[in-house]
Amino acid sequence: MTDKRRMIIRQGLFEQNPVFMQALGMCPALATTTSAVNAIGMGVATTCVLVMSNVVISIIKKLIPEKVRIPAYIVVIASFVTMIDMLMHGFIYELWKTLGLFIPLIVVNCLILGRAESFASKNSTGLAFLDGLFMGMGFTGALFILGSVREILGNGSFFGMQFSEVKLFAFVLPPGAYLALGLLAAFFTFVSGKLSKSSKKKD
Amino acid sequence: MEMSRLFVIFLSAMLVNNFVLSRFLGICPFLGVSRKLDTATGMSLAVIFVMTVASVITWFLNQLLLLMDIPFMRTIVFILVIATLVQFIEILLKKVSPSLYEALGIYLPLITTNCAILGLAILNVQQEYTLMETIFHSIGAGAGFAIALIIFATIRERMDLYEMPESFKGLAGALVTAGLLSMSFMGFQGLVRL
């Protein structure tokens, strides 16, 4: 059992990282990563929805008829998104305003529906919770890396603290999102390629 | 006056605020079905069609929600209606026009989780567009999606013929290409002002 848990954690964070490995949830990953703070905000909001929807779906999985399962999942997810939307509107208005359109769009994030279909509907509640938490953390981590890179290069600051006058402004604009994510993805493919080669040599 | 405003909304949705390249909506089909030109064309047509129908229906629904004073139900209602609508269109096309169904059929289920459709519906509401403006905005957005997807598919078809560094094959290379495409679309900024 502990082995399975460890595997879920490792897969969520690295081996099946939603953004870099599976290319899921690309829209928010590109759109909301103009700074590290925005990236974390989006990541945490998505993680909350993912954990709650995973738990609820794993509880009611036996009640849902096979044929209408996708609409049923969508209703569950949409309810939690509406809750998060209202909570963020009430407590962190500034962040809610910058993320704007992309908070209701958490509903159509393929990551959440994907986990509901491929994991939560087949596993126990505890495992579904763990899977949601670590997939969400993998997503948040990827967004944080991308947001930091874009903020440091594009604005010369980190978490809003200005430290450099060099500003490659393009990295904050839309093209920079594609370029930064493309270069990061290439870098991670390169590193994981090197790592798997060296581990093969040791064997 | 009225006509020119509609045209400006159309142009701005198509080029200046291109859904894929500057608003980041609909990235999944943009990266997913852009390997071949004919699949890209099929997907684009399906998206334009669903976008226009969906935003007209959600416009009426939004009036209803406002009337009943429950605007917070918007997300849930919109996504359910879009999901149902896509299914309905699929069944209808199968009966009415089998040839069109043949061409668009496989792309329709993919569209439900396309954030461009829900995003467009919510944007229409946020901008408080009238029905006419909604229609023009949707066609513009669909056309913009089609332009971006078809250009991108053409580039990717040619990219397959050239040597690329190992790490840039697949996703990374596609993203860098999209970045350059997005940069060229930045040139449309300032073309129209709303």
The length of chain B is 194
What was the pLDDT predicted at B56?
94
Give pLDDT, residue A45.
95
Residue A132 confidence (pLDDT): 94
CA distance B172 to A148: 19
- The nearest CA of chain A is from the CA of B16 a distance in Å of 12
Residue B78 confidence (pLDDT): 92
Dist CA B182 CA B173 (whole Å): 14
CA dihedral B139, B90, B23, A86 (to 10 degrees): 120
Task: Please tell me the predicted confidence (pLDDT) of residue B37.
Answer: 86
Residues of chain A with pLDDT under 50: none
| Closest CA of chain B from A146, distance in Å | 13
Q: Report chain B residues whose CB lies below 8 A from the CB of A104.
A: 74-75, 118, 122
Q: Which of A73, A108, A110 to mutate to test the interface with B (most CBs of B within 10 A)?
A: A108
What confidence tens digit (pLDDT) does each residue in B122-179 have? 999 998 899 999 999 999 999 999 999 999 999 998 888 888 888 888 888 899 999 9
Give the closest of B24, B76, B186 to A79, CB-based: B76
The confidence score (pLDDT) of residue A128 equals 93
The pLDDT value recorded for residue B193 is 65
Contact A179 B176 (CB under 8 A): yes
B190 touches chain A (CB under 8 A): no
Establish whether this prediction's ipTM goes over 0.90.
no
Q: What is the mean pLDDT of chain B?
A: 87
pLDDT value of residue B71: 85
Contact at 8 Å (CB) between A46 and A106?
Answer: yes
Of A133, A81, A136, A137, give the one whose Cα is nearest residue A106.
Answer: A81
Residue A139: what pLDDT? 94
Please answer whether residues B178 and A183 qualify as being in contact, where contact means their C-beta atoms are separated by less than 8 angstroms. no
Alpha helix stretches (DSSP H) within chain B: 2-11, 27-32, 37-67, 74-96, 98-104, 108-111, 115-126, 131-159, 171-185
Give the residue extent of every domain in chain B. 2-186
| For residue B70, pLDDT beyond 60 | yes
Taking an 8 Å cut-off on Cβ atoms, the answer to whether A175 and B171 are in contact is: no
Structural tokens at position A107? 């509903």
Q: Do B175 and A185 touch (CB under 8 A)?
A: yes
Which has more pLDDT, A138 or B39?
A: A138
Where helices occur in A32-173 by DSSP H, the ranges are: 36-60, 69-91, 93-99, 110-115, 125-155
% of chain B residues with pLDDT over 90: 34
Please give the Cα distance from B119 to B180 (Å, whole number).
24
Torsion over CA: B82, B87, B93, B98 (sign): positive
pLDDT at A67: 81
CB contact under 8 A, B174 and A78: no
Nearest to A78 among B23, B25, B79 (CB): B79
pTM for this model (two decimals): 0.88
Residue B105: pLDDT over 70: no
